[in-house]
Amino acid sequence: MGSSLLRLPYSGSVMLRSMNAAADIASAVRSGEGCAREIVAQALDRAEAVQKRTNAFITLARAEALVRAEVIDARREAGDPLGPLAGVPVVVKDNICTKGIRSTAGSRSLDTFIPPYTATVVKRLEAADAVVIAKSNLDEFGMGGSSESSLFGPVRNPWDLSKVPGGSSGGSAVAVATGVVPLALGTDTGGSVRQPAGFTGVIGFKPTYGRLSRYGVMAFASSLDQVGIMGRGARDLALALDAMAGHDPRDATSLQGNPPHFLEAVDSVRDLSGVRIGVVSELSGEGNSPSVSEALHRTREVLERLGAKVSDLSLPYVRYGVPSYYLVATAEASSNLARFDGMIYSARVGDNGEGQARVMMRARGEAFGPEVRRRILMGTYALSAGYYDAFYGKALKVRRLIATDFERAFACVDLLLTPTAPTVAFDLGEKVDDPLAMYLGDVCTCLANLVGLSAVSVPAGFAEGDLPCGVQFLSPPLQDERLVGLVAVLEREAGGGFAPLAPV
Ligand code: GLN
């Protein structure tokens, strides 16, 4: 595989074992055993091949990435210390701003937008010497669960090209699953990192609300949005989280105080003895496909073998999660997207001296796809005078009740276990005309966003049709490192085959 070839200064290319991991790439580049330029060039070549089959990328940043990699190599030769992600190629979802590199959110309204600044999370990855090689395809503005609603066309699942990769961070998930990069950024408003991670067999981590800066991340629903990370190993996730976490004065919602040490959590947690894990009854019975139930069952057995005390636990209000989420998310989206009016924000569609009113109408009507328009309409309705209390106000009350459910649960257990989604990856086109069916797929994931909790989807084997299946763990707020520690334990238990590479 291309990404495992390293240029040695004296003997040409050589195959090193386990060079798919960010940790290994970085230590090879730091020691001089690996050449950042070569690693990045190989990742770009691989991205091109994967693109042909899956449409996972919107923009490949070949020139920018190679320059950055050359600078890293030159700094090493000059004896400068390199960062913990030295030479590691990464992919960034296209609703996260990258200075000088087009960032479209998969929308016609931004199809020519080149940001004048870089999002804090990306800046911090770059400060750790990671190299952004591409911007990934997504559902328009992150609104969806299948990566089919992008202006740039649907993304395909590398395990079965007739299936969706999940969404909305489908392109990032594919980039990691196919080994183009060891790490990719997504955004998670209701599950958009975790569900595609589950559908493609990688790890998808959504931190506690506020743990990662959202400066430079295009807003969808501000009380729910959070940047998340996808990878194939706990150590890699920890490296990225350690690089990105920490207060950002440019984001008022970013948490104050020192972030946890994620790498330490990976190294310090040995087993799960004494850890109390609750399986959410409402999400583990009917409604799940048989293979999802089996994955849950298998996981339960593994947890018990590792010393955890697993019990069933009821959270009665979680069944109102989806209705509550779709009122809050659409209401906030209608407000956030109001700025795209064809004047300052949004590309102009057909501005031939038609006058301001017509330009605005086109920006609202033609520069957004049908799903985004649907959400703006629903959200505007939920917020309108006379309906506010009945819809948006009610949703906020339900959100509070769900939070109370979780507070009660975490008084009894340390972590919670649910499926990541009720099914494995479905057919392309299967749900695009049935929004309700698509929305119901968020039943397990949207809860962590409503409550602000950190949650992770981990690979839990393969289901029917050889498709990967994920399960989700949730931790109490601000205990993100517990989840990363848990992933490390599960990974060791799986003995290497935790997140196998997809065959593209
Ligand atoms: N599928 C959910 C939605 O469409 C979640 C999206 C997300 O997390 N960005 O709203």
Residue from 103, 149, 150, 168 carrying the catalytic annotation:
168
Give the chain's radius of gyration (CA, Å).
22
The token pair at 253 is 């919602």
Token match 């950024």: residue?
185
Residue from 192, 254, 346, 457 carrying the catalytic annotation:
192
How many whole angstroms separate alpha carbon 438 and alpha carbon 139? 12
How many whole angstroms separate alpha carbon 504 and alpha carbon 495? 23
Report, as ranges of residue numbers, the positions in the chain whose pLDDT lies below 70. 1-19, 351, 497
Ligand 1, atom 10, lies closest to the CA of 143
How many whole angstroms separate alpha carbon 129 and alpha carbon 71? 10
| Ligand 1 contact via 192 beta carbon (within 6 Å) | yes
Residue 73, phi then psi, degrees to nearest 5: -60, -40
CB 470 within 8 A of CB 198: yes
CB 213 within 8 A of CB 230: no
| Ligand 1 contact via 130 beta carbon (within 6 Å) | no
Ligand 1 pocket: which of 442, 443, 444, 450 to mutate (most atoms <8 Å of CB)?
A: 442
| Ligand 1 contact via 148 beta carbon (within 6 Å) | no
Largest CA distance in the chain: 74
Is 168 annotated in the active site? yes
For residue 187, report the distance from its CA to the centre of ligand 1, in Å. Answer: 9
How many whole angstroms separate alpha carbon 44 and alpha carbon 50? 10
CB 3 within 8 A of CB 46: yes
| Ligand 1 contact via 143 beta carbon (within 6 Å) | yes
pTM of the prediction? 0.95
- Using alpha carbons, list the distances in angstroms from residue 112 to 47, 105, 346: 22, 11, 9
| Ligand 1 contact via 170 beta carbon (within 6 Å) | no
For residue 246, report the distance from its CA to the centre of ligand 1, in Å. Answer: 25
CB 49 within 8 A of CB 93: no
pLDDT of residue 355: 86
* DSSP per position, 302-322: HHHHTT-EEEEE--GGGGGHH
How many whole angstroms separate alpha carbon 167 and alpha carbon 149? 10
Q: Which atom of ligand 1 is nearest to the CA of 193?
A: 8
Beta strands 309-313 and 276-280: pairing type?
parallel
CB 487 within 8 A of CB 241: no
Ligand 1, atom 5, lies closest to the CA of 190
CB 6 within 8 A of CB 33: yes
How many whole angstroms separate alpha carbon 478 and alpha carbon 453? 8
Cα dihedral 294/298/303/304 (nearest 10): 100
| Ligand 1 contact via 191 beta carbon (within 6 Å) | yes
pLDDT of residue 497: 67
- Nearest alpha-carbon partner for 333 in 368, 296, 305, 290: 368
| Ligand 1 contact via 485 beta carbon (within 6 Å) | no
